[in-house]
Amino acid sequence: MENIWQGENLDRLFSKVYDVSQENSEILVNGSLAGVSRRPFFRYTLKIAVSQDGRIAFDLCGQVADNAAWLPRLGFEFILPKALQSFQYYGHGPAESYCDSYHHAPCGLYESTAAKEYVPYVRPQEHGNHYGVRELTIKNAFTVRSSQAFEAAVSRYSAGQIYRAAHTDELGESAHTYLRVDYKDSGLGSQSCGPELPEEYRLKEKAIHFTFSLEPVSQEA
């Protein structure tokens, strides 16, 4: 199967910032994403507002290029201290779920850890994604909230570490915990082991608007 994302060099992602400005407690970023040596496939503005109570609000508005391939996912990956392993979320669980495979995972309130979310696939793959999340709390740290459903995962490994590993023993120990907060992920189905992913499960939208916030929580005694 032709790898449309490698053709776009999306496995060699380059982020470019054209302008950053600040007014009071708000930061405005104008930037783009592109594969190395390719034209940008996503141009965006990101407004980050910081409140006195420690709340950080993200407002992402962007446009995907008309001739860009559909995207595997679009979102944010946060690097956290390794000690922040435990979390609670309201969404589809407790098993991992995606837009084309979530009916086996009832929507509810669940607790887990980064270690429990790991799935030892023969070839390392991204794991622990949860579809239809409305709220996720990293215990003793912060809560992720949004007025729109989003997708999220907490892992001991970054997306880059997983992509570069060909076997489970190549992952090794990670020095951090990684939190993904995604606007959307495309479905799991692929032509590598079956038919091509149906159009309805592809992230092929052109206009993107995604808002969410990180809100501090009081630490447990």
Would you say 103 and 147 are in contact if contact means Cβ atoms under 8 Å apart?
no
Give tens-digit pLDDT for 30-63: 999 998 888 999 999 999 999 999 999 999 999 9
Give tens-digit pLDDT for 92-116: 999 999 999 999 999 999 999 999 9
Q: N- to C-terminal Cα distance for the chain?
A: 54
In a domain, 164, yes or no: yes
When pLDDT is averaged across residues 8-34 and rounded to a whole number, the result is 91
Phi, psi of 155 (to 5 degrees): -140, 160
Cα 76 from Cα 174, distance rounded (Å): 19
Name the nearest CA neighbour of 185 among 126, 115, 111. 126
Does 6 score more than 80 pLDDT? Answer: no
In a domain, 142, yes or no: yes
DSSP alpha helices (H): ranges in 51-191? 114-117, 159-164
In a domain, 24, yes or no: yes
Does 220 score more than 60 pLDDT? Answer: no
In a domain, 145, yes or no: yes
When pLDDT is averaged across residues 123-145 and rounded to a whole number, the result is 95
pLDDT band for position 121 (50/70/90)?
Answer: confident
Q: What is the pLDDT of residue 36?
A: 85
Cα 36 from Cα 82, distance rounded (Å): 30
Give tens-digit pLDDT for 63-86: 999 988 899 999 999 999 999 999
In a domain, 158, yes or no: yes
Q: What is the pLDDT of residue 2?
A: 46
Give tens-digit pLDDT for 82-95: 999 999 999 999 99
Dihedral over Cα of 93, 170, 8, 30: its sign: positive
In a domain, 31, yes or no: yes
- The DSSP call for residue 220 is P
pLDDT band for position 197 (50/70/90)?
Answer: confident
pLDDT band for position 176 (50/70/90)?
Answer: very high
In a domain, 221, yes or no: no
Q: What is the pLDDT of residue 1?
A: 36
Half-sphere exposure of 40 (CA within 13 A, CB side): 14
What is the count of structural domains for the chain? 1
Rounded alpha-carbon distances, angstroms, from residue 19 to 28, 78, 118: 8, 22, 38
Rounded alpha-carbon distances, angstroms, from residue 198 to 96, 104, 167, 191, 201: 20, 19, 29, 10, 6
Domain extent for 209 = 4-216
Q: Say which CATH number the domain at 143 has.
A: 2.70.98.10
